[in-house]
């Protein structure tokens, strides 16, 4: 029986705002070397610049095109720190509309000044509930100024069990690669938020019963933050709710080399959006100082998740070899520009296209891995 030909990948590029345009351009050049000639890279609008132009930070045209793609690479978006009528976070909306319930943020020690050695962990963050995107309402007003505001936080059993399964599957896969027993740590504040965090904790511990090969422990989220700063080597997979995961993953990035090196992927059952953890950094935009490593690492995560493991491995190897050398941007202890880092990585890719093999089938198991300037939602 002859093989059914498979179509080449179609990847959306979402540069966004600030340094997002610069770092996504570097990733685009790497993807063009790695992917087959008939692969499509489609650039789409998102972020504050899109809002100013068309009145929406996530235009419907962008959503329609994303629905025709295998995955997307997001750069960064700027978000106003004050209320702007009609504006809402496009990143949160993207996660909601495409069911991207698992935000996976790996943190591995990098060979750069200030990084702690021996750290290799993964933060698995629930991506669709909690305080992000939660309804807010004013309670009382005096002279046109809010006297109080209430934000309604939602934690559900279904979403908590779903993210727990993603964490335990990820831990099991990591253990298989590294040849040691997996450990999942659940971070919560159930001693104070007894109903909401209590439910999250209960669900994770219940799911743990189905994974006897994976050890499990728990920490109050403040203790988890302390341990991440003090002894990050103790962690393997850390699973937690939305806001906590955002904060804890930034601490993990800080101890392993900085936000300029930290990638992430927002994953669902059929679609993924990879992105650097850093934000749009308008103070760096246009100065050639943006570190493209986090975005290149995010692109490698995306390639692996859309069924291009060989291309992902080549890109990861080129980035890590470059990082271990002397060509680094100032945030990573060097003096190189964005373009110099880009050229070094691209040189290591040897300007060759990798042979393309039919994509692996995508399953639920393989799917599981703003401050407007420095870090994003």
Give dist(CA 265, CA 164) in Å, integer: 17
Residue 114, helix vs strand vs coil: coil
Sheet holding 272-276: strands in order across? Answer: 40-43, 10-16, 71-76, 272-276, 263-267, 102-108, 120-126, 237-240, 182-188, 214-220
Q: How far is CA 88 from the centre of its chain?
A: 19
| DSSP output for 117-167 | TT-EEEEEEE-SSBTTT--EEE--EETTEES-EEE--B--HHHHHHHHHHH
Per-residue HEC secondary structure of 69-98 comes to CCEEEEEECCCCCCCCCCCCCHHHHHHHHC
* Residue 237, beta-bridge partner list: 122, 184
Do the bridges between strand 120-126 and strand 102-108 make them parallel or antiparallel, or are there none, so unpaired?
antiparallel
Q: Which parts of the chain fold into alpha helices (H)?
A: 20-34, 48-54, 60-66, 90-97, 157-178, 196-208, 221-230, 242-256, 293-305, 309-324, 338-348, 364-367
In the block, tokens 């900085």 appear at 258
Residue 65, helix vs strand vs coil: helix
Residues 62-87 as b or e (16 or more Cβ within 10 Å = b): bbebbeebbbbbbbbbbbeeeeeeeb
Position 336 pLDDT exceeds 70? yes
Closest CA to 305 of 251, 366, 233: 366
Position 166 pLDDT exceeds 90? yes
**pLDDT per residue over 5-17, tens digit each?**
467 899 999 999 9
In the block, tokens 């988890």 appear at 224
pLDDT band at 377 (very low <50, low <70, confident <90, very high): low
What average pLDDT does this structure show over 269-294?
95
Position 371 pLDDT exceeds 90? no
- Enzyme catalytic residues: 132, 189, 222, 246, 250
In the block, tokens 């103070």 appear at 283
What is the predicted pLDDT for the residue at 133?
Answer: 75
**pLDDT per residue over 42-79, tens digit each?**
999 999 999 999 999 999 999 999 999 999 999 999 98
Give dist(CA 235, CA 263) in Å, integer: 18
């Amino acid at each position: 029986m002859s093989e059914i030909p498979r179509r080449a990948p179609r990847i959306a590029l979402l540069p966004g705002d600030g340094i997002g345009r610069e770092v996504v351009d570097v990733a685009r050049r790497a993807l063009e070397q790695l992917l087959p000639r008939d692969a499509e890279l489609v650039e789409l609008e998102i972020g504050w610049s899109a809002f100013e132009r068309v009145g929406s930070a996530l235009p419907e045209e962008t959503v329609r095109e994303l629905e025709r793609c295998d995955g997307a690479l997001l750069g960064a978006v700027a978000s106003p720190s004050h209320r702007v009528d009609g504006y809402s976070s496009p990143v949160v909306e993207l996660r909601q509309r495409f069911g991207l319930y698992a935000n996976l943020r790996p943190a591995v020690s990098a060979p750069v000044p200030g990084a702690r050695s021996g750290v290799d962990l993964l933060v698995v963050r629930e991506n669709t509930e909690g305080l992000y995107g939660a309804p807010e309402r004013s309670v009382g007003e005096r002279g046109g100024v809010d006297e109080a505001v209430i934000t309604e936080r939602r934690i559900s059993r279904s979403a908590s069990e779903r993210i727990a399964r993603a964490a335990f599957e990820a831990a099991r896969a990591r253990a298989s690669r590294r040849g040691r027993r997996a450990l999942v740590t659940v971070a919560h504040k159930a001693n104070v938020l007894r109903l909401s965090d209590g439910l999250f904790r209960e669900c994770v511990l219940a799911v743990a019963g189905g994974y006897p090969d994976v050890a499990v422990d728990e920490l109050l989220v403040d203790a988890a933050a302390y341990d991440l700063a003090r002894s990050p080597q103790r962690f393997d997979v850390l699973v937690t709710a939305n806001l906590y995961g955002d904060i804890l993953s930034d601490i993990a990035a800080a101890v392993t080399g900085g936000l300029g090196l930290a990638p992430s992927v927002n994953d669902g059952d059929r679609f993924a959006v990879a992105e650097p953890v850093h934000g749009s950094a308008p103070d760096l935009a246009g100065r050639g100082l943006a570190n493209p490593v986090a975005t290149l690492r995010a692109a490698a995560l995306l390639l692996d998740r859309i069924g291009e493991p060989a291309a992902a491995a080549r890109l990861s190897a080129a980035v890590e070899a470059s990082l271990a050398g002397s060509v680094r941007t100032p945030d990573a202890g060097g003096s190189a520009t964005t373009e110099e880092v880009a050229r070094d990585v691209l040189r290591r890719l040897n300007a060759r296209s990798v042979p393309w093999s039919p994509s692996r089938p995508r399953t639920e198991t393989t799917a599981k891995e703003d401050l407007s300037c420095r870090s994003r939602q």
